[in-house]
Chains A and B, each alone.
Chain A
Amino acid sequence: MTKEIYTWGAISAIVIASCAGDVLLSYAMKQVGDVGELWRRKGLFAVMGRILRNPWFIGGVLGMTIAFYSLLFALSWEDVSLVGPAAAALTFVANAVAAKIFLHEKVDRRRWIATLLVAGGVLLLAV
């Protein structure tokens, strides 16, 4: 029972933290602009400087760090074949909702179908 509580608690933490991290990172990178284009025009250091100075980037990295340690914690209790797909499938759906609300992305029917197909497929991999 303890194993299930630890595993699913950690998976919930992975989903929440990586969803927050993904939204913040996506927002930060939209502010920075196309990295490839910026690199060609101003060089690598300008790109790195612009990314590292962005406060949303720091928040995103914090979210990813929490998700990473939650993943390590979950993997210490359960196999990657369960933790990986379960966390990924839930994160796909949570991210689609969060991107629509917070990033104002146009999540049209094509993207919803793709997200649900991928989430369903990932869950089947765990069976």
Chain B
Amino acid sequence: MTSSKYLVLAGVTVCAAAGDSLLSRGMREVGNISFHHLPSIILAILNPWVALGIIFLLGFFASYMTALSWADLTYVLPATSLGCVLLALIAKFALHEQISVTRWLGIVLISTGVGFVTRGPELTHNSSREKIPPRPTQALAARQK
């Protein structure tokens, strides 16, 4: 793993946490959406907080795609889960919320999981175009036989 790859994983982590927080703030302003008024969910993206959240989520998407081009899905997901820890730390230090012992335990578990997976290889099969994995639909058909 090079430092630029760690930077990409950090981009996934930070952008996802920031995007989710901004979406939450925006949707609190938009209010509850019921099934009878489902089209109004499209207009929710006009809310400035939701719009800013979407910009961060686009950053998340770009770095996530980059990470998936050189690492397994089962490596990228746990490795970038520090975003949840980041959200809790933002709540503690920026929003001055109280963090219970259970939440600290959750933070410890996530950090241990991240440390665990990032010490292993990021790719478990050859990703070259000559040796691409079977198509998902083929794998499904093979399992159904």
Known contacts being A25-B68, A95-B73, is A84 close to B20, with CB within 8 Å? yes
Q: Find chain A residues with CB under 8 A from B72 CB.
A: 26, 99, 103, 105
Minimum CB distance partner of B72 in chain A: A105
Minimum CB distance partner of B117 in chain A: A114
A to B contact number (C-beta, < 8 Å): 190
Return A30 CB to nearest CB of chain B, in Å. 5
Q: Find chain B residues with CB under 8 A from A64 CB.
A: 61
Q: Fill in one digit per residue for A54-79: 1 if any B CB lies within 8 Å of its CB, else 0.
A: 00100000001000110111011101
Indicate the size class of the contact surface on chain A. 35 or more
Known contacts being A30-B132, A36-B66, A73-B41, is A122 close to B30, with CB within 8 Å? no
Choose from B77, B78, B107, B134 the contact partner of A22 (Cβ within 8 Å).
B77
Contact A122 B84 (CB under 8 A): yes
Minimum CB distance partner of B112 in chain A: A117
Q: Find chain B residues with CB under 8 A from A22 CB.
A: 73, 77
Within 90-143 of B, Cβ neighbours of A (below 8 Å) are at 100, 102-103, 105-114, 116-117, 119-120, 124-125, 127-129, 132-136, 139-140, 143
Q: Fill in one digit per residue for B1-37: 1 if any A CB lies within 8 Å of its CB, else 0.
A: 0001000000000000000110110011011111100
Q: Find chain B residues with CB under 8 A from A43 CB.
A: none
With A and B bound together, what is the CA distance between A111 and B75 in angstroms? 7
Contact A104 B139 (CB under 8 A): yes
The 8 closest A-B pairs by CB, nearest first: A124-B106, A121-B109, A117-B113, A121-B110, A80-B24, A114-B117, A106-B124, A118-B113
30 residue pairs of the A-B complex, CB under 8 angstroms, read A30-B68, A30-B132, A34-B70, A34-B127, A36-B70, A51-B65, A64-B61, A72-B27, A76-B41, A80-B23, A80-B24, A84-B87, A88-B81, A96-B74, A99-B72, A101-B143, A103-B72, A105-B73, A105-B125, A106-B125, A111-B75, A116-B113, A117-B110, A121-B81, A122-B81, A124-B103, A124-B105, A125-B103, A125-B107, A127-B103
